[in-house]
């Protein structure tokens, strides 16, 4: 593996850490931009590397683990927002029901 490929894979790992931070903050715009850049680095690595060394495999495993954590965070946030929307809808229905009964008095 060449030095450029090593640096590219290390940069992809650093971007993965940045993506995790963006996911923790819920910054989807930064996350998408970082993911695009990381994807290009990973494609270059894949196209330039024939046999994977143990070091390559370790870096890729770290990238995969961080990626899984970021996806988990985003999924948790998505479910949380869904619950918030459901509760808001329940509240709106309750207000509407209460408002209607109050006018009848």
- What does the alpha-carbon distance between residue 9 and residue 96 come to, in Å, rounded to a whole number? 56
Provide the CATH topology of domain 3-104: Methane Monooxygenase Hydroxylase; Chain G, domain 1 (1.20.58)
Q: Fill in the DSSP letter of residue 51.
A: S
* Predicted confidence (pLDDT) per residue in 2-32, tens digit: 555 668 899 999 999 999 999 999 899 999 9
- Whether the predicted model's global pTM rises above the 0.75 cut: no
Yes or no: say if 77 and 24 are a contact pair by the CB < 8 Å rule: no
Looking at residue 101, its pLDDT comes to 63
Domain ranges for the chain, please list them.
3-104
């Amino acid at each position: 593996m060449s030095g450029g490929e090593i640096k590219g894979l290390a940069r992809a790992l650093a971007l993965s850490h940045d993506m995790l931070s963006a996911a923790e903050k819920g910054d989807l715009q930064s996350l998408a931009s970082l993911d695009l850049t990381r994807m290009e680095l990973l494609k270059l690595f894949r196209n330039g590397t024939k046999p994977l060394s143990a070091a390559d495999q370790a870096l890729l495993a770290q990238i995969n683990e961080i990626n899984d954590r970021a996806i988990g965070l985003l999924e948790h946030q998505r479910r949380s927002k869904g619950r918030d929307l459901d509760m808001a809808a329940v509240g709106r229905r309750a207000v509407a029901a209460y408002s209607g009964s109050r006018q009848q008095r």
